[in-house]
Amino acid sequence: MTTLHTEKRGERTKPSYMSAYRMMWMLVTFDLPVDTKRHRADATKFRQFLLDQGFEMSQLSNYLRLVNGQEQFETYTRRIGSNLPERGDVFIFQFTDRQYENIVRFSDQSRRARKKNPEQIALF
């Protein structure tokens, strides 16, 4: 994914490109205890926090988000670290937009077509 943007410098406009190697995906995967009412509530609260941060649920314990570079990745990592449940395991993976294009998916015993990367980033 390469998108053309323009930046103004004085009176001139200079094109710049968002590189598919700069854009990264964050995958937050976790294994949280749900054996008590409190643990279930903590797990639900953590899932809701991820959704509020712009992550999309890929599977029940896997959430994805596109970020613009390492600095934004670190910002979201700190936010997640500040909102961890009391117990359980949380893992955060990062991979480039190009690597995301090459993920192999199987569903119902069939290989699925590669997911197309978003054409643009939605800003809220």
pLDDT tens for each residue of 4-51: 444 445 545 444 445 555 789 999 999 999 999 999 999 999 999 999
Task: Write the CATH number of the domain with boundaries 3-8+17-100.
Answer: 3.30.70.240
* Category of 59 on φ-ψ map: left (φ > 0), alpha (ψ -120 to 50) or beta: beta
42 carries a ligand binding annotation: no
Helices (H), ranges, the chain: 37-52, 70-81, 97-101
Q: Is the pTM of this model over 0.75?
A: no
Give the number of other Cβ atoms within 10 Å of residue 66's Cβ: 19
- Convert the pLDDT of each residue in 48-69 to its tens digit: 999 999 999 999 999 999 999 9
Chain centroid offset of residue 55 CA: 6
